[in-house]
């Protein structure tokens, strides 16, 4: 495929690049479902979207979207494939950088490898304006690495107590060990808004009391079996059953997230993500998972 630069908007400026890491404390809470569906919503709102699949789990982004990839981050790093060869096109023009054990290698590159990779990835700044990273769950070093490099961190939480406790534990590590202070909390598999807000408040209270940070409520996605049914057919639910209750909630979340990011930069200047990931923080805390 050929990577074409993004079109300037009506004011002659390109949309600012936004990089969202979608993460969770507990596994199976719906990250990949949310990433794939949010990506399609963003694309429909006119954004040029790249998904980076940074999770080594089983239900990968490419599988969920029915894509066949030639290469992955591992073959990109080994020089077997170029970036153009590795990226795969999904629904609505969403591009996907597929996962592999190469995700682990990204956190352990030599300076030469970082520079070689950067020169390839630099071209992406002109091509995409929205990057969504499916980080995988927990506090392993590769999860932390992508969260700390992204501008916005979306923590997916379900109402069950383990998910709430694990989300708090993840936020605690990112705050105390990586200096992160801004988190969007997205409630998934809730019955209604009341349950979403109640769950959000539990985490919010703990974060305010023990970590001295305030959290952003990013909305909710209702429990809806249309998500699983669409995934079984390897289609994004917002395309397959756009009138489904969960599709409506995800569209609303997508619009709110873009509006929130337009109002403020949650994490300083919109410095290009890859440089952050590969150059600025190459020395220290990314390489060890905090205890």
Q: What six digits make up the tokens of 98?
A: 């597929």
Give the residue among 148, 191, 161 at the shortest CA–CA distance from 290. 148
Give the residue among 52, 70, 74 at the shortest CA–CA distance from 61. 52
> What ranges make up the beta strands (E) of the chain?
18-24, 49-53, 88-89, 95-97, 130-137, 152-157, 184-190, 216-222
- Phi, psi (rounded to 5 degrees) for 8: -65, 150
Nearest approach in angstroms of CB 128 to ligand ATP is: 22
Contact 57, 86 (CB under 8 A): no
Point out which residues bind ligand ATP (CB under 6 A): 24, 27-33, 55, 57, 59, 137, 188-189, 221, 223-225, 227-228, 231, 246
57 versus 202: smaller Cβ distance to Mg ion: 57
147 binds, among Mg ion, ligand ATP, none (CB under 5 to 8 A by kind): none
Site map (CB under 5 A) of Mg ion, residues 43-62, x = contact: --------------x-----
16 binds, among Mg ion, ligand ATP, none (CB under 5 to 8 A by kind): none
Site map (CB under 5 A) of Mg ion, residues 214-253, x = contact: ----------------------------------------
Should residue 69 be labelled a site residue for Mg ion when binding is judged by CB under 5 A? no
29 versus 87: smaller Cβ distance to Mg ion: 29
Nearest approach in angstroms of CB 6 to ligand ATP is: 28
Should residue 75 be labelled a site residue for Mg ion when binding is judged by CB under 5 A? no
Contact 127, 82 (CB under 8 A): no
Distance separating alpha carbons of residues 104 and 236, to the nearest angstrom = 27
28 versus 270: smaller Cβ distance to Mg ion: 28
Nearest approach in angstroms of CB 26 to ligand ATP is: 8
Distances (CA, A) of 193 to 73, 236, 237, 249: 38, 23, 20, 10
Nearest approach in angstroms of CB 214 to Mg ion is: 28
Should residue 32 be labelled a site residue for Mg ion when binding is judged by CB under 5 A? yes
Distance separating alpha carbons of residues 259 and 219, to the nearest angstrom = 13
**Residues making contact with Mg ion (CB under 5 A):** 31-32, 57
């Amino acid at each position: 495929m050929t990577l074409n630069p993004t079109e300037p908007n009506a004011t002659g400026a390109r949309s600012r690049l936004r990089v969202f890491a979608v993460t969770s404390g507990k596994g199976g809470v719906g990250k990949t479902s949310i990433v794939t569906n949010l990506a399609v919503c963003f694309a429909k709102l006119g954004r040029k979207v790249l998904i980076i699949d940074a999770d080594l789990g089983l239900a990968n982004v490419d599988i969920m979207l029915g894509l066949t990839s030639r290469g992955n981050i591992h073959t990109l790093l080994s020089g077997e494939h170029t970036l153009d060869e590795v990226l795969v096109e999904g629904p609505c023009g969403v591009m996907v950088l597929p996962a592999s054990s190469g995700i682990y290698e990204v956190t352990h590159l030599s300076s030469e490898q970082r520079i070689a990779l950067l020169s390839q990835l630099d071209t992406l700044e002109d091509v995409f304006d929205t990057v969504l990273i499916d980080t995988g769950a927990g506090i392993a070093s590769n999860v932390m690495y992508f969260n700390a490099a992204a501008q916005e961190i979306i923590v997916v939480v379900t109402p069950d107590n383990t998910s709430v406790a694990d989300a708090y534990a993840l936020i605690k590590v990112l705050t105390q060990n990586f200096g992160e202070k801004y988190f969007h909390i997205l409630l998934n598999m809730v019955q209604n808004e009341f349950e979403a807000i109640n769950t959000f408040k539990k985490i919010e209270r703990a974060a305010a009391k023990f970590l001295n940070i305030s959290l952003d409520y990013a909305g909710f996605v209702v429990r809806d079996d249309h998500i699983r049914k669409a995934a079984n057919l390897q289609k994004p639910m917002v395309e397959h059953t756009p009138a489904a209750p969960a599709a409506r909630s995800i569209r609303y979340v997508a619009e709110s997230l873009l509006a929130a990011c337009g109002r403020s930069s949650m994490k300083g200047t919109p410095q290009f993500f890859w440089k952050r990931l590969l150059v600025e923080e190459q020395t220290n805390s990314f390489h060890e998972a905090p205890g």
